[in-house]
Amino acid sequence: MADQQQVYPVPDEWKRRAKVDAEGYETLYGRSIADPGSFWLEQARRLDWIKRPEIAGDWSFDESDFHINWFTDGKLNVAANCIDRHLASRGAAPAIIWEPDDPNEPARRYAYLELHQEVCRFANVLKAEGVEKGDRVTIYMPMIPEAAFAVLACARIGAIHSVVFAGFSPEALAGRITDCDSEFCITADEGRRGGKRIPLKANVDAAADRAPALKKVIVVQATGGDVAMKEGRDVWYHHVAESVSDDCPAEVMGAEDPLFILYTSGSTGKPKGVLHTSGGYLLWASLTHELAFDYKEGEIFWCAADIGWITGHSYILYGPLANGATTVMYEGVPNWPDASRIWQIVDKHQVNTLYTAPTALRALMAEGDQPVKATSRASLRLLGTVGEPINPQAWRWYYDVVGDGRCPVIDTWWQTETGGHMIAPLPGAHDLKPGSAVKPMPGVDPQIVDADGNVLPGATEGNLVIAKSWPGQMRTVWNDHDRFFQTYFSTYPGKYFTSDGCRRDEDGYYWITGRVDDVINVSGHRMGTAEIESALVLHEKVAEAAVVGRPHDVKGQGIYAYVTLNSGVHPSDELRDTLKQWVRKEIGPIATPDALQFAPSLPKTRSGKIMRRILRKIAEGDTSSLGDTSTLADPSVVDHLVANRVA
């Protein structure tokens, strides 16, 4: 496609200012693969160790000797790395800037010194309520500073946090509490998003009925809304906090001691309780934050995710704070009170780097350029994206309209399982191609294999696996080590299987083509859903598209497209034909959709990813068994799609 030939060279300014240039990347990457032992021990120096490790990676992906350990003999505390070690040099510098849901309310700022006090006090409250090292603590919180304090307080005392996104239902929350046998839950009276209130404490009450493991609920007063408190189980955070000190020693932790459990988004089935440990994870979050975002002292970094997702863990909290950055935390949603909100926040807090998801960009793009153009955005220097393949159309809009053609767009491919970025450009090192995640991070050894596991060299397409362990790799599925091995290491023995499809071009650039399950085979031609979706989104009337395969008598699989139109555009048979012809022209006759359904909205996970698994079932007409839909953001979307299915 013409799209993929378009190259955006590293701007001259970036060649001058970046920490890592093209040559620097080659040297760094080369060393990481040729001599991982000494490379990683040297990288480990970016952390503050109580006992410095002398062993780097100790791992095997083989079934007979399956184990993954990093820096095993090292000792450290993750929270001390994110806070205490910065106090002497930048104690008065802002650690967190918090922007509330309602723009008329004041923002809050916490210097590193203040963050230290808040986290210590929170840690002492946890101790006072009986939390001990190794206990699982469920955090079900709105995006308020106390959520960050709670996470870091767990890390400080060695408790294992399990953050559950505050948009999840009581059922989903109960399932996650039960799965990791968590006796403690931290929540707030209510959350606020887009001007609405979310009854978090009431949700916890409902979840508790189904989660007998839960013994204690610590409630932060956020809105002052009315809530019921259950005697003996529920305590107000601010009551306990009155009587504890704001000094709390950091627990000495082994590098392989668990840091947190986080359940995957559930795009493909029952969520997995991904376990990350202390040393390797923090090193990975810190290194990738510095490299991919070319982070420099004093910059304002805004990752517009929720701390309920891995993106929030690694790039709102752990990565930026380990690097002593100023991180922005936003309570609300991108389109409230209006479609300018994100860009207004950029101006208000003079944000230098913005990191968000394609789903948010597509939604904002559908509102036109005016809400963006009404703001300055002069502070921006770098833009990032994560979560799904980004359509080249959305990439260019981000680059041209949001970044005014000044800011590189960094497309970062990674997973909950990987802890941090795996394939991503470094802005000072790599020319960019819209839609490509570009090159592997140091230590990451990606391979493309065919269905039989044969490694495909050069420019090729197939299944993406990672051949070597890296420090940020998950260590197990909580309580189900067998599922861990079976899910990730049994398909292609000796390798980590990502479940994603991928293409590598002549320049060695990587292009994620979507989940392997989503690759469609039409008359023997393999096609990534991402490519057809990108072609549809290129059309001026289309806001969003999702494509799935369904059985076809002649072709093996046929192409079924769901299309959401821009606001104000009305569906018609004529437009349907136009769009089919459009794809035919953009990609070729083989990619012409067999069926095209107009969809006012698409089924998405609460992290905003399209659930193609459900769309596939609807396309096939198999609507009686849609599988696990508990992670759907809005279940009613499905009924509308079923009713309007194209036979």
Binding-site residues, in ranges, read 193-196, 311, 335, 387-389, 411-416, 500, 515, 523, 526, 537, 539, 542, 584
Decide if 522 contacts 556 (C-beta within 8 A): yes
387 binds ligand ATP (CB under 6 A): yes
By the rule CB under 6 A, 412 interacts with ligand ATP: yes
Nearest to 559 by CA among 539, 578, 574, 545: 545
Site mask, ligand ATP, residues 212-241, x = CB under 6 A? Answer: ------------------------------
In the set 81, 162, 187, 268, which binds ligand ATP (CB under 6 A)? Answer: 268
At residue 632, φ and ψ (nearest 5 deg) are -70, 135
Which CB, 182 or 412, lies closer to ligand ATP? 412
242 vs 125, 185, 237, 613, CA distance in Å? 9, 20, 9, 49
What letter does residue 455 receive in the DSSP assignment?
B
Query: Pick from 114, 105, 102: which is nearest to 195 by CA?
Result: 102
Q: How far apart are CA 564 and CA 601, in angstroms?
A: 6
Q: At closest approach, how far in Å is the CB of 631 from ligand ATP?
A: 8
Structure tokens at 379: 């502070």
Q: Which stretches within 187-322 are classed as H helix?
A: 200-210, 237-242, 279-292, 310-312, 319-322
Q: Based on CB atoms, which residue is closest to ligand ATP, 69 or 416? A: 416
Q: Cβ of residue 613: shortest distance to ligand ATP, in angstroms? A: 8
CA distances from 324 to 187, 361, 605 (A): 27, 28, 32
| Annotated binding residues for CoA | 193-196, 311, 335, 523, 584
Are the C-beta atoms of residues 166 and 200 closer than 8 Å to each other?
yes
The CB-of-236 to ligand ATP minimum distance in angstroms stands at: 33
Q: Considering the complex, what minimum distance in angstroms separates the CB of residue 611 from ligand ATP?
A: 9
Using CB under 6 A as the binding rule, whether residue 515 contacts ligand ATP is answered as: yes
Does position 306 bind ligand ATP by CB under 6 A?
A: no
Which of the stretches 74-82, 200-208, 413-421, 565-573 binds ligand ATP when contact is defined by CB under 6 A?
413-421
Tokens of 285: 């979050």
Give the phi and the psi of residue 411 in degrees, each rounded to 5: -95, 115
Which one, of 417, 468, 558, lies nearest residue 36 by Cα?
468
Cβ at position 426, least distance to ligand ATP in Å:
15
DSSP letter string over 321-348?
Answer: HHTT-EEEEE-S-TTSS-TTHHHHHHHH
Q: Which pair of structure tokens corresponds to residue 202?
A: 């009431």
The H-or-E segment that residue 51 falls in is none
Choose the stretch contacting ligand ATP; rule: CB under 6 A; options: 72-80, 185-193, 260-268, 543-551.
260-268
Q: Please report whether residue 603 would count as binding ligand ATP according to CB under 6 A.
A: no
Residue with Cβ nearer ligand ATP (21 or 417):
417
Nearer to ligand ATP, 156 or 362 (CB): 362
Stretch that binds ligand ATP, among 70-78, 213-221, 381-389, 585-593 (CB under 6 A): 381-389
Closest distance of CB 416 from ligand ATP, Å: 3
Q: Is 271 in the site for ligand ATP (CB under 6 A)?
A: yes
User: Which is it for the CA torsion 514, 389, 13, 294, positive or negative?
Assistant: negative
Of the pair 223, 491, the CB lying nearest ligand ATP is at 491
In angstroms, give the least distance from the CB of 409 to ligand ATP. Answer: 11
Output 313 or 576, the one with its CB closest to ligand ATP: 313
Spatial separation of the C-alpha atoms in residues 487 and 99, rounded to whole Å: 39
**Which amino acids are annotated as binding site for ATP, given as ranges?**
387-389, 411-416, 500, 515, 526
Which residue, 214 or 410, has its beta carbon nearer to ligand ATP?
410
Q: Does 386 bind ligand ATP (CB under 6 A)?
A: yes
Please report the beta strands in 398-485, taking only residues with DSSP state E, as ranges in sequence order. 409-411, 446-449, 460-466, 476-477
State which amino acid sits at residue 418: T
Q: Residue 259 CB: number of other CB atoms within 10 A?
A: 28
Binding mask 604-633 for ligand ATP (x = CB under 6 A): ---x-x------------------------
Enumerate residues 6+ apart whose C-beta is below 8 A from 325.
289, 295, 299, 301
- Are 521 and 461 within 8 A, CB to CB? no
Q: Which among 9-17, 266-274, 578-586, 615-623 is the span making contact with ligand ATP, rule CB under 6 A?
A: 266-274
Q: Which of residues 421-440 bind ligand ATP (CB under 6 A)?
A: 437
CA distance linking residue 437 with residue 88, whole number of Å: 38
Among 415, 491, 566, 623, binds ligand ATP (CB under 6 A): 415
Contact status: 335 vs ligand ATP (CB under 6 A): no
Place of tokens 């079923």: 642
Q: Which is nearer to ligand ATP, 420 or 442 (CB)?
A: 420
For residue 411, state whether it binds ligand ATP (rule: CB under 6 A). Answer: yes
For the packed helices 36-43 and 22-34, what is the interaxial angle rounded to 10 degrees? Answer: 120
Q: Which is nearer to ligand ATP, 112 or 511 (CB)?
A: 511
Angle at the Cα of 639 (from 271 to 416), degrees rounded to 5?
20
> Does position 267 bind ligand ATP by CB under 6 A?
yes
Number of residues that bind ligand ATP (CB under 6 A): 24
463 vs 607 by CB, closer to ligand ATP: 607
- Residue for token digits 């601010």? 238
205 vs 388 by CB, closer to ligand ATP:
388
Distances (CA, A) of 270 to 23, 42, 489, 627: 43, 39, 18, 9
| Residue number, 9 or 269, with CB nearest to ligand ATP | 269
* Element holding 271 (H helix, E strand): none
Is residue 546 a contact point for ligand ATP (CB under 6 A)?
no
> Nearer to ligand ATP by C-beta: 43 or 463?
463
What are the tokens at 565? 């139109």
Q: Which is nearer to ligand ATP, 254 or 403 (CB)?
A: 403
* CA dist., res. 375 & res. 344, Å (int): 6
CB of 437 to ligand ATP, least distance (A): 5
Please give the Cα distance from 632 to 611 (Å, whole number): 8
**Using the rule CB under 6 A, is 392 a contact of ligand ATP?**
no
| Burial class, 540, CB count within 10 angstroms (exposed 0-12 / middle 13-18 / buried 19+) | exposed
**Residue type for position 278:** S
Residues 555-594, mask of contacts with ligand ATP (x by CB under 6 A): ----------------------------------------
Contact status: 265 vs ligand ATP (CB under 6 A): yes
Residues in contact with ligand ATP, shown as a per-residue x/- string from 486 to 505 under the rule CB under 6 A: ------------x-x-----
Site residues (CB under 6 A) for ligand ATP?
264-268, 271, 310, 386-389, 411-416, 437, 498, 500, 512, 515, 607, 609
